[in-house]
Amino acid sequence: MNIVVEFFVVTFKVLWAFVLAAARWLVRPKEKSVAGQVCLITGAGSGLGRLFALEFARRRALLVLWDINTQSNEETAGMVRHIYRDLEAADAAALQAGNGEEEILPHCNLQVFTYTCDVGKRENVYLTAERVRKEVGEVSVLVNNAGVVSGHHLLECPDELIERTMMVNCHAHFWTTKAFLPTMLEINHGHIVTVASSLGLFSTAGVEDYCASKFGVVGFHESLSHELKAAEKDGIKTTLVCPYLVDTGMFRGCRIRKEIEPFLPPLKPDYCVKQAMKAILTDQPMICTPRLMYMVTFMKSIPFEAVVCMYRFLGADKCMYPFIAQRKQATNNNEAKNGI
């Protein structure tokens, strides 16, 4: 193709992509079905991971839950089974009432499987993934959600905690994706969800390890998305989830300027997950919550000193300091309690 003609074709495709993106904001696309598909969620024992599990359960997905905490993971599984029982009862009632025109999945397909897995350990991930393939089947939807935060200033943070943050928040995405992507490629079907953070798009003081891990996983996700497009594997979708501060307790104590806080409060976990689910089920490539977070990408194009001035005005420059102080106090109290 002549390069001039190709240029105009590409220009048209770029403009058309903008039109489609604008249309998504005005007209909500139809959500796809994940009923009967195997959905694996890491960090499913609490927080956003638990809420993702409940949302996928309501949509009749077959769930595989990974967490390092066996007890909390089983608690999530119990909640999922309760949802499955309600769905089964509703199906039975619909059939009895003669409203069974729509396809109803048999109860045997509504199952939840739990695995205790430390995603920060590569071999643990690969061994557990092999168990999943043998005991459950191939994974169609992979939600990489597990995350940790050290809560220390850089020079006070033990090297082991820095490594742990990078392993769980970033490296684990490599291991899980390498474990389950090959089959997705074979059948050209699947969905990989990366739960990152707004701190993977912009940074703040005091959480160098956390920001580095989230920046890293955003880069991983974007590169993976490009690789799938280059391979013309359009049946495999990817969604990057970048929420603002979520009120899960992970960053308890984090505060911005009190006059600004009412306009930018921490996100409710339920709201965050519901917005993410809308993006996942409509194959949206990226979701920032709230929408104001989309603007932070433009901050990279303005002078650093201007960004610093904005941070100071918002109280975002030291917003993590109260959180770090609380973590330090809690650590000191535990050491005193244990006689260390």
Q: Which residues of 301-339 are buried (b: 16+ CB within 10 A; e: fewer)?
A: eeeeeebeeebeebebbebbbebbeebeeeeeeeeeeee
User: Which H/E stretch holds residue 207?
Assistant: none
Least-confidence region, from 13-17, 85-89, 201-205: 13-17
Q: What mean pLDDT is reported for the chain?
A: 87
Which amino acid belongs to residue 36?
Answer: G
pLDDT of residue 309: 83
For 140-167, write each residue's pLDDT tens digit. 999 999 999 998 899 999 999 999 999 9
pLDDT of residue 340: 47
* Mean pLDDT score, 94-98: 80
**First-last CA distance in the chain:** 73
Q: Is the pLDDT of residue 266 over 60?
A: yes
- Rounded Cα gap, residues 209 and 161, in angstroms: 9
Q: Quickly count: other Cβ atoms within 10 Å of residue 54's Cβ.
A: 17
Of 12, 34, 69, 53, nearest to 195 by C-alpha is 53
In the set 84, 115, 210, 311, the catalytic residue is: 210
pLDDT of residue 182: 97
The secondary structure of 13-53, three-state, reads: HHHHHHHHHHHHHHCCCCCCCCCCCEEEEECCCCHHHHHHH
Contact 62, 84 (CB under 8 A): no
Q: What is the edge-to-edge ordering of all strands in the sheet holding 190-195?
A: 112-116, 62-67, 38-42, 141-144, 190-195, 236-243, 286-289
pLDDT of residue 320: 84
244-250, long-range: CB within 8 Å, 24+ apart, which pairs? Answer: 244/198, 244/288, 244/289, 244/290, 244/292, 244/293, 245/198, 246/47, 246/48, 246/272, 248/46, 248/47, 248/48, 249/47, 250/47, 250/147, 250/149
Give the global pTM. Answer: 0.88
For 26-35, write each residue's pLDDT tens digit. 677 899 999 9
DSSP state at residue 260 = T
Least-confidence region, from 98-107, 217-226, 285-294: 98-107
Contact 256, 263 (CB under 8 A): no
Contact 240, 285 (CB under 8 A): yes
pLDDT of residue 59: 96
* Mean pLDDT score, 37-66: 97
Of 48, 58, 30, nearest to 194 by C-alpha is 48
For 272-281, write each residue's pLDDT tens digit. 999 999 999 9
- Rounded Cα gap, residues 49 and 27, in angstroms: 28
Percent of the chain exceeding pLDDT 70 equals 87
pLDDT of residue 305: 83
Q: Is the pLDDT of residue 336 over 50?
A: no
Is residue 210 annotated as part of the catalytic site, yes or no?
Answer: yes
Q: Is the peptide bond before 158 cis (omega within 30 degrees of 0)?
A: no
Please identify, in words, the CATH class of the domain defined by 31-92+105-334.
Answer: alpha beta
Q: Is the pLDDT of residue 216 over 60?
A: yes
Beta-carbon contacts of residue 194 (< 8 Å; ≥ 6 apart): 144, 173, 217, 218, 220, 221, 238, 239, 240, 241
- Rounded Cα gap, residues 122 and 166, in angstroms: 12
